[in-house]
Structure 1
Amino acid sequence: MESSFSEQLQKGAFYLEQERFEDSILEYTMALKNTNNYKQKRDLNLVLGRLYQKANKPEKAVAAFEASLKLYDLLEPEKEAVAKAALHNNLAAAYMTLDIENAISHYKSALSQYKSLASSAQEDFLAHLANTHFALAEAFLQKAALAQAKTHFKEAIKGYEKLPELKDIKARAHYQLGLIYTEEFNLYDAKTQYTKALEIYEKEEVFGQPGNKPVIAALHNNLAITFKSLEEPKKAISSYKKTLELYKALSKSQATVFLPYVAATHSSLAIAFAEIQLVEKAIDETRKALAIYNELADSHPDDYTHYLATSLHNLGLFYFELKAIDEAEHFFSEALSLRKKIAAQAPKAFDADVCASALNLVELNQYLLENQLDISYKEKSLALLEDVKERLNTFEDSRLVIKNMKSDCTYYQEYFNTINLEKLSFQRTKKTIRALQEEINSTIFPREKMTYQEQIVSLLKIQFELYPKNEELRQLLAYAKNDLGWLYLRLKEPENALTQIQQGEELDERIGSLKCNRAHAYLLLGRLKKAEVLYRELISTHQAISENYTEIISNDLEKLEADGIDTSLINRIKNRIPLPL
């Protein structure tokens, strides 16, 4: 025997209380078929629409709500403004996953009606008005219409200012505004909105509400990212620490959900420490993240193995920063091996990660090659670079990170293809010489300068004996001899100066400053005629720069005079050649 209309309503209500939504839908649907009363049909469609929403059937929810709305228009629409406004909101919510434009249209209809209602009875409908602004803002956000979303979030906040009982929704509006400003890279406004949201959430009565703690943790995290972008690293670290504290607390009861957030925050905190040169702390935080990702990757390898690889890679970077080469090489190699395994299953997603680890390992190999003069690192690096090149060639996008890696790959291939022991040895010598030259420039005393210059000459001489055909090396040694000769002149040792200068000229007689210093040596030895000949040759044979050589000679003589050289000799030569007074 078929149930009566009233029995179907009773059963529908009973099943609804038991949250047996499918059974409730069945009873209300039969009741809808058993009535010809428009008001009953309207109300039943409204109930069915809400049930379909609970059952996650948005298409059927929309159909039921649309049917109910048509009946509202038939039944004294001017008396049903409140119910219709609520129904437009329900329709909009149902459309959110189906048709965002229709969702926005219905939210606008609801907003228009609530505005009209609020104008005559503002306090009764202010909450509905504010909530509809909030919902409409979220709809615009889903459409990526950020300007409209901002407008409605701001209007919602204005309404919530007068509704202290809805402070948690107000906090969410500030949070959403912060996300929009972050998207727009409007960092100062983002910081302001996150801070306002936190001021509400961290009040005792709001903080303890179910579901708010994860939002508060996310807010601290976003605030940390914002501080980091604003180049306020200490504030960023402070916010990351608060984020970590909250996620740790949440993970105690919901480890599956929140343990990944704990690991991710350790990683973010590590990077923040590294950026202010607290590398040891960065390593400590990364090791904590690594331990968690190890555990997560064991139970969910598809979801967390790539995070494990990233932690290994970051440890390599941090140890390399400390020049802890063995550790850096170990972690880069571990990361590369793991990333290759992941990329074998999904090359488009993870080949770029493989290239990043390989290029860092190549950079480390370059460091080892140059410091150990071990040519075996050349072949290792070229093999890595060939693989990197092949993987990068599969990328056609214009992402900056891909462009940079392609550029790095080209540079390293050229470097390792052309490097040899002679170049390596020469590069190391030049590096040492640069350091010695800094020492020379750091003192004003010729005797102290002499100590470092003699070391430079000795280094270059050893290299030149090994590689006598290296023309750059020959020229550097000639200039070094010249500089040593000049220092001997300043120390009133013209014989030693002349020896160094002549040796320099044997290496490269084209260097004009050698000739100039030889003239100075003759002058100090009292060989005025020889000095005069050389000075005149320098001035006359370099017509294009004769004024410069005149000034150079004059300045040199002034320095020698200041060092205590016999002024009578200097005055005699000044009378013989055209020098400025």
Structure 2
Amino acid sequence: MLNWLKKQFSSASQEETTPAIDTRPTESEQSEQAAELKIQGDAFLKQGKPFEAQQCYEQALAIAPKDASLHNQLGDLYYERRDLKGAESHYRQAVHLQPDFVSALLNLGLTLDESGQFLEAESFYRQIISIKPDEVLAHYNLSVTLASQGRTEDAIASCRQALSIRPKFSQAYFQLASLLGMQGDANNAEEALRQAIECDPQFVQAHWTLANFLQQQNRIPEAIQKYREVLELAPQFDQARDSLLAILFSTQQYSEAESIYRKLCLSTPEDAGIQNNLGVTLKAQDKLADAEICFKLAIQLRPDFVEAYSNLGATQLQKNQLQEAVISYQKAIDYKPASLEFYPVLARILRQLTRIEEARNLLLHAIKLDGNFAHAHFELGLLYEEQGELSKAETEFRKTIELMPAHSVAHGYYGVLLMNQERYQEAEASLRRCIQEQPNEAAAHDNLGMVFYLQNKYSEAIPHFKKALELNPVLENAWNNLGSTYVRMEQWSDAETNYCKSLHINPDSPLTHINLARIYLNQKKFSKAEASFKAALKDKPDGFGDAYTILGTILQYTGRHMEAIACFRNAIAKDPGFMEAHSHLLFQLGLGNADSPEEYRTEVLAYQSKLAADSTPYTTWKVSPQINRRLRIGVVSADMGNHPVGYFLENVTKEFDLQKIELVAFSNKTRNDNVNARLRQYFSSWHSIENISDPVAAEMIHEQGIDILIDLAGHTAENRLPVFAWKPAPVQCSWLGYFGTTGVPGMDYVLADHISVPEQHEEYFSEKIWYLPETRLCFTPPAIQPSLEVAANPLPALLNNYITFACFQSTGKLTDFTLALWAQVMQSLPEARLRLQCRELENAEIRLHTQERLRQFGIAPERTELHGPSSREAYLAAHKQVDMILDTFPYAGGTTTCEALWMGIPTLTLTGTTMASRQGASLLTYAGLSDWIAKDKNEFVRLAISHSSDLNKLSQLRSTLRNQVLASPLFDATRFAHNLQDALIGIWSEFAKKL
């Protein structure tokens, strides 16, 4: 800016200060001749003939060598030709001949200034000021020279002095603005620029500088308007136009940018660059067809226009014209092989087209051209990850980060890769680095939340999901993940709210509908659950085995057992690797398939085959073969808490001889209830395997050096049976929580008793049966409350004059067979009543459905009472209104039978051929109630009538039954623990002998 001003004002100062031709008389005719030559030179100069003018001046100077004005004129000619040395020589001669020649002094100062001789230039300007203090250009030029020396304060003072002499001096205001800007005084600099424009509204450079200033101040609308004004004053000012276009692009004002480019295209139709830029503008507005035409025209005008090929490829990619995009990007590479930025883009498109080898080779070629090309390494990492080559993917992501430590996306992808490998600490570090580089990257916060979620650190996960949603409120995954976190925390309302917000973003999301269905299922809102299931499969009826599993569970709860089985089979057909569906099917077959062990065994073999194919069992273990030593017993369960499994387990664990048995827990569900707290004290260590993959969970167990690993779940909910297929312990057993064979390869034993599994039924098990000498179960009595004492509670039938039958089991166990059998009993005892109570009956739909099923089997609604869940104390107290329990078939009661026995209420059971159907018989046998076990349907009805007919005997049993069962193996924890402990030692001895 300063040089431009100095050049502009050198001629102006000359016009204002050049003295008239020296007309002093000469001594000879030579003087007249010199004057004539000078006049001719001036004439040539006016005609725009500087060389002819120079010849005249030089001839005149030869005649009159002491003519200072001639030297000054020649200096101007040399200056105009940018011959600064020639100009300086003549200006010096002029000043030498006439020391007070102000115009020559100004010109000499300007020339020295432009030659970088600032100090000498300064001295000449000061000489002028001493001669003529009000010479405004001297003050102005001095300001310029001082600024060039970095003496800003002095420069400002000189500039202000110039303005005091000439207040309307626009160039001085412009210079002052520059100086104030250098000092960071933005406000006064802006004011000086506006003063310059006020003095000279046509001052283009001032308008341009003010526009730039406004843009730097982020005053975008003002800057845009000022650029427009610049272009009105100077339509060909390319730099101003480019700045305006850039700011229009940055503010997405594409329409105006398009208008500018279209005008340029009309004025310069052969300019390929302008055609390309118009295409970019159109593409930004999603006018893809027009943009494509522009890029193709640009290429037609310039066949080697690499940028146009790239833009054309990007447009075709946006139009999903992948094959065409490949051709365009390949052309860009062909014309400019060294332009490495095109390689990753083309490789990504090739990946989309599943042309994997081409993509791989392209990226490897790019890396060969430049081994430090981070983007090629990153794309190669994505390719390897997509192909399941995780080790290679990790190598490439690491290389990317090594080359470009601030590559936030690489940190993000690497973090997810580590998370999927359950390397959570490394994943957390990588994702935190991603966020450090890009704090507003919502997906990174979402993924970091998942790292904590997968470690069961829910309170730490929630803030990251919320941060992701704060940054991107339409991030569907984050709403889903937040909902799933609340599910884990059993905050059902919050979970439902977040899933619904996810659906608001994507109403057709199958995953979200499935998640909602799970919540509704947990809350027993079966109609809503079924509706969500159907919505999940609306557009893809052949997918999502998970959804079919949910529907099967709904059908199971509503007693539609055969339909449930069909759903679980459908789920397996859709996704054979979905092991949860296999477990649901096996559970359902045991629950309601008419006591058919053969069909169950067929499905077990299919499950066994799938597990065997998906696992690599350990063959060595960190254990000692010594027999007489303390054994490390691992226990795997999601139910070690306020759950039926916990009720059975607690009474036993506290009676183990911990000198012989060391218990190690592997919990698949976080529980913080009072039962869990009591159980923990009997375990030497407690490990969570929740959300940990089967191989990693198996490795964790293997590292603990477990001698015998016990599963407490079987095919019930939240089981970890696939972990056992990895054989993390040398001996593995199934006990307590399940009623049949698991079918798991590597599961060695099922712990049972002779009643639940007679020897002739061993063929139905893939495991060996290890028989306990008495019952396979031992129940923990509830903490006795005075209100639960039964001695003062007479038999209700004595007061009611009718028998009250009851069942406290899940509606899922109410098979058609069961209801038909009960109906026979109720028909035989027309005054009897039936009370049903369970969690599912809290739901109005289930109550109505159950009532209707009972009616269909001939049990009138007025003879039944249906109750939902209550506190455990209230639930136990409800037994005081009951005379007798009717068991279900083929899945007999377990916990409810034991609780009823403790409350003095006997259960009438029917025995079958499966372990599930013989569970009631086992419990009653060891409780000393063999006469309450029916061998067939007819005997069941007969026994119901018989026991109901002798109320005195039933009343006597009621008053003594608690003490009777407390003394039995079923409640004698010390006795049972001794038997179980001996069994575990015996199992280990057999194994150790084989080593």
TM-score under structure 1 normalisation?
0.60
Partner of 2:259: 288
In structure 2, C-alpha distance between the alignment counterparts of 1:357 and 1:136, rounded to whole Å: 52
CA contact (8 A) 1:263 1:293 kept: no
Aligned to 2:666, the other structure's residue is in SS state helix
Answering whether residue 327 of structure 2 is matched by residue 383 of structure 1, we say yes
For structure 1, which runs of at least 5 residues remain unmatched after alignment?
A: 97-102, 141-146, 275-280, 320-326, 366-376, 396-401, 420-429, 465-476, 531-535, 577-581
- The CA deviation at 1:289 is 2.1
Partner of 2:46: 19
Answering whether residue 111 of structure 2 is matched by residue 91 of structure 1, we say yes
Q: From 275, 278, 283, give the equivalent of 1:308.
A: 275
Instruction: Say which structure, 1 or 2, has more relative contact order (CA 8 Å, 6+ apart).
Output: 2
CA contact (8 A) 1:269 1:282 kept: no
More strand by share: 2
Matches for 1:298-447 after TM superposition, within 5 Å: 298=269, 301=270, 304-319=271-286, 327-328=287-288, 330-344=289-303, 347=304, 350-365=305-320, 377-395=321-339, 403=341, 405-418=342-355, 435-438=509-512, 447=527
CA contact (8 A) 2:176 2:192 kept: yes
- The CA deviation at 1:441 is 6.7
Q: From 134, 142, 155, give the equivalent of 1:132.
A: 142
Aligned amino acid, residue 548 of structure 2: K
Aligned amino acid, residue 254 of structure 2: A
Residues 343-401 of structure 1 show CA distances to partners (whole Å, capped at 9, x for unaligned) of 33xx4xx4223312322322322xxxxxxxxxxx4433332232233234143xxxxxx
Aligned amino acid, residue 46 of structure 2: E
State the number of aligned residues. Answer: 451
In structure 1, C-alpha distance between the alignment counterparts of 2:290 and 2:570, rounded to whole Å: 51
CA contact (8 A) 1:130 1:157 kept: yes
In structure 1, C-alpha distance between the alignment counterparts of 2:555 and 2:214, rounded to whole Å: 60
Aligned to 1:196, the other structure's residue is in SS state helix
Answering whether residue 297 of structure 2 is matched by residue 271 of structure 1, we say no
Partner of 1:206: 200
For structure 2, which runs of at least 5 residues remain unmatched after alignment?
A: 1-27, 357-476, 478-504, 598-634, 640-662, 672-689, 691-712, 719-809, 811-837, 844-867, 876-893, 900-995
Partner of 2:116: 104
CA contact (8 A) 1:247 1:262 kept: yes
CA contact (8 A) 2:210 2:226 kept: yes
Q: From 171, 174, 183, give the equivalent of 1:172.
A: 174
Partner of 1:62: 85
Partner of 2:228: 244
Partner of 2:537: 457
Partner of 1:195: 190
Residues 254-299 of structure 1 show CA distances to partners (whole Å, capped at 9, x for unaligned) of x6x36x789757745642452xxxxxx633x24422431232124x
Partner of 1:297: 268
Matches for 1:69-80 after TM superposition, within 5 Å: 69=92
Partner of 1:322: none
In structure 2, C-alpha distance between the alignment counterparts of 1:32 and 1:226, rounded to whole Å: 53
Is the alpha carbon distance of 1:318 and 1:307 closer, same or farther for their aligned partners in structure 2, counting shifts above 3 Å?
same
Aligned to 2:167, the other structure's residue is in SS state helix
Is the alpha carbon distance of 1:87 and 1:518 closer, same or farther for their aligned partners in structure 2, counting shifts above 3 Å?
same
CA contact (8 A) 2:74 2:90 kept: no
CA contact (8 A) 2:299 2:309 kept: yes
Answering whether residue 255 of structure 2 is matched by residue 226 of structure 1, we say no
Residues 92-141 of structure 1 show CA distances to partners (whole Å, capped at 9, x for unaligned) of 36xx4xxxxxx111x331214545776x799546752432332575xx6x
In structure 2, C-alpha distance between the alignment counterparts of 1:497 and 1:355, rounded to whole Å: 56
Answering whether residue 491 of structure 2 is matched by residue 547 of structure 1, we say no
- The CA deviation at 1:10 is 4.6
In structure 2, C-alpha distance between the alignment counterparts of 1:392 and 1:460, rounded to whole Å: 46
In structure 2, C-alpha distance between the alignment counterparts of 1:497 and 1:503, rounded to whole Å: 10
Aligned to 1:4, the other structure's residue is in SS state helix
CA contact (8 A) 2:262 2:278 kept: no
CA contact (8 A) 2:245 2:257 kept: yes
- The CA deviation at 1:31 is 2.3
Structure with the greater alpha carbon radius of gyration: 2
In structure 2, C-alpha distance between the alignment counterparts of 1:510 and 1:35, rounded to whole Å: 109
Aligned amino acid, residue 546 of structure 1: F
In structure 1, C-alpha distance between the alignment counterparts of 2:278 and 2:152, rounded to whole Å: 37
How many percent identity over aligned positions?
Answer: 10
Residues 325-347 of structure 1 show CA distances to partners (whole Å, capped at 9, x for unaligned) of xx41x223212212213433xx4
Aligned amino acid, residue 171 of structure 2: I
Aligned to 1:546, the other structure's residue is in SS state strand
In structure 2, C-alpha distance between the alignment counterparts of 1:287 and 1:517, rounded to whole Å: 62
CA contact (8 A) 1:241 1:269 kept: no
CA contact (8 A) 1:392 1:406 kept: no
CA contact (8 A) 1:88 1:109 kept: no
CA contact (8 A) 1:168 1:200 kept: yes
Is the alpha carbon distance of 1:150 and 1:354 closer, same or farther for their aligned partners in structure 2, counting shifts above 3 Å?
farther
Is the alpha carbon distance of 1:133 and 1:261 closer, same or farther for their aligned partners in structure 2, counting shifts above 3 Å?
closer
Partner of 2:60: 31
Is the alpha carbon distance of 1:363 and 1:289 closer, same or farther for their aligned partners in structure 2, counting shifts above 3 Å?
same
In structure 2, C-alpha distance between the alignment counterparts of 1:568 and 1:438, rounded to whole Å: 31
- The CA deviation at 1:69 is 2.2
Q: From 49, 69, 89, give the equivalent of 2:75.
A: 49
In structure 1, C-alpha distance between the alignment counterparts of 2:176 and 2:841, rounded to whole Å: 73
In structure 2, C-alpha distance between the alignment counterparts of 1:130 and 1:29, rounded to whole Å: 32
In structure 2, C-alpha distance between the alignment counterparts of 1:352 and 1:387, rounded to whole Å: 10
- The CA deviation at 1:318 is 0.8
Partner of 2:205: 215
Is the alpha carbon distance of 1:456 and 1:154 closer, same or farther for their aligned partners in structure 2, counting shifts above 3 Å?
farther
CA contact (8 A) 2:37 2:59 kept: no
Q: What is the CA RMSD across the aligned residues, in angstroms?
A: 5.3
CA contact (8 A) 1:485 1:497 kept: yes
Residues 397-443 of structure 1 show CA distances to partners (whole Å, capped at 9, x for unaligned) of xxxxx63x432222112322449xxxxxxxxxx99897344567789
Matches for 1:557-572 after TM superposition, within 5 Å: 564=842, 567=869
Residues 42-69 of structure 1 show CA distances to partners (whole Å, capped at 9, x for unaligned) of 553233111333xx3232x532532552
CA contact (8 A) 1:174 1:193 kept: no
Partner of 2:919: none
In structure 2, C-alpha distance between the alignment counterparts of 1:16 and 1:516, rounded to whole Å: 109
Is the alpha carbon distance of 1:539 and 1:436 closer, same or farther for their aligned partners in structure 2, counting shifts above 3 Å?
closer
Aligned amino acid, residue 243 of structure 1: Y
In structure 2, C-alpha distance between the alignment counterparts of 1:545 and 1:388, rounded to whole Å: 62
Aligned to 2:200, the other structure's residue is in SS state helix
Partner of 1:277: none
In structure 2, C-alpha distance between the alignment counterparts of 1:151 and 1:342, rounded to whole Å: 54
In structure 2, C-alpha distance between the alignment counterparts of 1:504 and 1:492, rounded to whole Å: 19
